[in-house]
Structures are given as C-alpha cells and as structure tokens.
Amino acid sequence: MITMTELATKEVVNVSTGKLLGHVVDLDVDLDKGLVQAIIIGQGRVRSLFNKEAELFIPWVQIKKIGQDVILVQIAEAASIGKD
C-alpha cells in the first residue's frame, strides 16, 4: 500500500527516453470501481490556483515500476502532452 503523500515525493522518469517528467501532483480515480486510472504529473512541486503549471496525464497501465525513490513509466514522447 502507498499513500498519495508518498507518491508525491517520488520523481517520475520515462524509461523510453530517460527523461525526468516531474512529480505526481494528482490522481485520476474511478470512484465506481475504486481504482486509480492515471497519475497526473506536474513539472514543479508547488501548484496554485493562479499559477497553473503544465501537467502530464499518464494512464496507470503505463506505470512500469514504483520504486523507493522513483516511478518508472513508459510513454511515447508525443504522448506526454497531457490531458485536456
């Protein structure tokens, strides 16, 4: 089991490119099924209402490994533009 606070402290790295994508800032949860559908990544660690940062929407199925310090995901570079 892992908490949102623990997820938010981990860096997210794309294993396809080796690029650091950012940190988890939110989760997309299916309340009917009780499942996390995706993680939402922000490039900065601080969010505010007035300074909305770019976000990446990464479906849960693209998470390859959640380690002690990092979350490894596998996404195509073109797919890393985010969710509208």
CATH fold of 4-81 reads: SH3 type barrels. (2.30.30)
The 10s digit of each residue's pLDDT in 31-79 is 999 999 999 998 655 555 555 557 889 999 999 999 999 999 999 864 5
The 10s digit of each residue's pLDDT in 2-38 is 888 999 999 999 999 999 999 999 999 999 999 999 9
Q: What ranges do the domains of the chain cover?
A: 4-81
The residues near 35 (Cβ < 8 Å, ≥ 6 apart) are: 29, 60
Q: DSSP strand E in the chain: where?
A: 11-14, 20-30, 35-42, 55-59, 63-66, 70-73
Q: What is the pLDDT of residue 76?
A: 83
Q: What would the two tokens of residue 38 be?
A: 């995706």
